[in-house]
Amino acid sequence: MKLSKITLAVTCMAFSATALASTADIQASNNQAAVKVTSTHVDYTETGSGIFGTPTGTLDTESGNVSGYELSVSTMKNWWLGNDYLELQYSHNSGNTNYVGQLISGGAGYGSIVSSSGATLTDYSIRYGKGFVVSDGFMLTPYAELGHHKWDRGVNEGETYTDNYYGLGALAQFSPADGMVLTANALAGSTFGSNISVSGPDAFSGSLGNSTLYKVGIGADYAFTRHFHADVGLDYTSFKYGMSALYPVPGGVAWEPDSTTHYTTLKLGVGYAF
């Protein structure tokens, strides 16, 4: 009987130590500064409404990969609610995409114009949440996020799209082995303050319609040492811009049509855990 009790006590102590260790791995992953190289696939489509006899359906598309970097710092500490999670993130990607389009009037239809277009994406965000230890090696962190997006588009004389967004999401993190943390992430929110600025002889600037925004992602973080981490991730973002108002330009009016944007980003980086 005494031996059984001793064995049970040792087993319970071992289980508790494992739980603490795996939870500590997740917290260590959430307390680090990281730099990552990134590659973002742009998938953008403008759709015509037929206003003033202009084409309907797909007007033009842009697709291709642009590369860059991401800087982030995150921390999980007991400040207010316990396991308070805070993350700051900045990214910059630039390169060329494949443009396929048409003339708005008198053209031969979608696909009659094919070219290469420069694209620069700049994003930054702040995220706050609270982590909950669900079970051994598993943590769930609901959060709120606020961010800003800018796309410098190289078509025509140049166009710049900007928007802000807010959303609610959650991180699900699992530690299957010492030093390894797997993460799944999902966010749903809305854009606001969307805007376009068009350069050139038909220049105009104005508001765009806002839309629902979705983000999902997966990632893996591995601690080679207490401080040195490496990670890989894949993120997907989807949102829309609504049609702008009509603006007077030389010879008539101009506007920005409805559009849909999808970004898929591959990330590979290193971090310093503190």
Q: pLDDT tens digits for 201-210?
A: 999 999 999 9
Which structural domain, as residue segments, surrounds residue 87? Answer: 2-273
**Alpha-carbon gap, residue 131 to 28, rounded angstroms:** 13
More confident residue, 203 or 7: 203
* 3-state SS, residue 104: coil
- Residues 170-214 have pLDDT tens digits of 999 999 999 999 999 999 999 999 999 999 999 999 999 999 999
Distance from first CA to last CA of the chain, Å, rounded? Answer: 46
Give the chain's radius of gyration (CA, Å).
Answer: 24
The strand pairing partners of 81, in sequence order, are none
pLDDT at res. 11 = 32
- Chain-centroid distance of CA 156 in Å reads 27
Name the band, by pLDDT with cuts 50, 70 and 90, for residue 233. very high
**Alpha-carbon gap, residue 114 to 61, rounded angstroms:** 10
| pLDDT higher than threshold 60 for residue 4 | no
Task: Please compute the mean of the pLDDT values over residues 86-110 and round it to a whole number.
Answer: 90
pLDDT at res. 53 = 86
The tally of domains found in the chain comes to 1
| pLDDT higher than threshold 50 for residue 79 | yes
What's the CA angle centered on 117, arms 119 and 147, to 5 degrees? 20
pLDDT at res. 109 = 87
Name the band, by pLDDT with cuts 50, 70 and 90, for residue 25. very high
CATH of the domain at 239: 2.40.128.100
Burial of 4 (0-12, 13-18, 19+ CB in 10 A): exposed
Query: What is the residue-averaged pLDDT of the chain?
Result: 91
60: tokens are 């033009």
